[in-house]
Structure 1
Amino acid sequence: MAEREALLACVDARGILAVRVTPNARSARIAVEPDNAGVNSVRIWVTVPPEDGKANKAVIALLAKALALPKSTLSIERGDTSRLKQIRISR
């Protein structure tokens, strides 16, 4: 539950969550960490490779589970082929 609250605190007023994704990780996980400026940032590790959108699907599934939301409420707004992504959360 604390992870869900920390993630929701990182969502901006437009419903966008900025994340940094690392594919091909040993385990799938999410971390909310302060960056150098003291602002919380979200990092996501997924175990699948970044080919044919597999990593993007894994990111959406992992975030949906952590936020206790349906996958259909999450979509990648920017960064389909980048490690830095903006994910729209519509409720």
Structure 2
Amino acid sequence: MTTGPTTAGFYRPVDGGVLVEVRLTPKSASDRIEGTVAAADGSVRLKARVRAVPEDGKANQALEVLLARALGMPKSAVAVVAGHTARSKTLRVDGEPSAIAAALRLLAG
């Protein structure tokens, strides 16, 4: 069951985890999360950069690893579920929603 948006805006709790909205920039100088950014449609997204190229899912895989490490979770707990070929992506993070939300708020600054 999905609940409404949180005050943070870029994530929302769902059964067994959290959905996270991300704006990804591939082919960057380093892998990092840079807080949040407002999208053109007014939504808020977590801003991430990865060194990987956007070919054959490499950037998506790098994003999954980056977010898992940043949250202190196994890579298997993080998966791109929407936006596979777009810069705006939705990732699912499996685990305790309140703990994940707290970690995401810290990442966002």
TM-score where L is the length of structure 1: 0.80
Structure 2 residues not aligned, in runs of 5+: 1-7, 96-109
Q: How many residues align?
A: 82
Equivalent position SS for 1:72: helix
What is the Cα-based RMSD across aligned positions, in Å? 1.8
Amino acid across the alignment from 1:80: H
> After TM superposition, where is structure 1 displaced by more than 3 Å over at least 4 residues in a row?
none
Matched-pair identity in %: 37
Partner of 1:42: 46
TM-score where L is the length of structure 2: 0.67
CA gap of 1:84–1:40, structure 2 versus 1, over 3 A, is closer
Which is greater in Rg? 2
Determine the C-alpha separation between the residues in 1 that align with 2:37 and 2:24.
Answer: 16
Structure 1 residues not aligned, in runs of 5+: 1-8
Partner of 2:21: 18
